[in-house]
Amino acid sequence: MPITTAIFDMDGLLIDSEPLWHEAFLEALSEWNITMSEAEYATSVGLRTREFLQHWLPVFGLDLKLVPAVDAEITRLVKEKIKTRGQLLPGVPETLDKVRSRGLRVGLASSSPISVINTTLDRAGLQGVFEHVASAEDLPFAKPHPQVYLDCAGALGAVQVECLCFEDSFNGLIAAKAARMRCVIVPAPHVFADARWGAADIILPSLEQFTDEVLDSLLQRR
């Protein structure tokens, strides 16, 4: 079926916020002297904060009863950081223009809370750009579960096989492919060589490389 809809992830794809989430996590847990390497952090990118904490707190010997309070503190910290330091990633405006110029409907599907989504869109000057914004905040499951992508497609009136997703994380890639959508993956440089990205339809080092020729090749696939 032809592609009619483009659905974008947010953190790490539209805005360089993953380092800010990492910082917020470490600051929220600083009283327990928790450290986490960039490689460790990368294994959980794309998860909601509560699933992230449910995985990592036991690893650090901390009680899961801390999850709600630490989750709230991380969300507070990351919004502050995005407001002052969030930067739109290269190629984002041009990519949005390309897909819209081809008549594709445009949505956003993120694991982040809606308050973080709005903070990010305000900072990036992208409020009103997306025809529908879907958050997994209150869903039973978030990425790598496909529900947030399915919800976004449904709200845009699209069948999932008509959708092209843009992601930066492996959990997001799994979610997109589980939803039976095509996926452009733009991994962080330090994980770009990971063989797991082979599940994507195309791998790019930056959205700056999302050319008209790349879009044509995706639109022509059946």
- Among 13, 35, 36, CA closest to 112: 13
Give the number of other Cβ atoms within 10 Å of residue 191's Cβ. Answer: 17
DSSP reduced 3-state for 144: coil
- Among 96, 100, 95, 131, CA closest to 4: 100
Q: How far apart are CA 85 and CA 55, in angstroms?
A: 28
Give the number of other Cβ atoms within 10 Å of residue 106's Cβ. Answer: 16
Which residues participate in catalysis according to the annotation? Answer: 9, 11
- Among 151, 199, 149, 156, CA closest to 9: 149
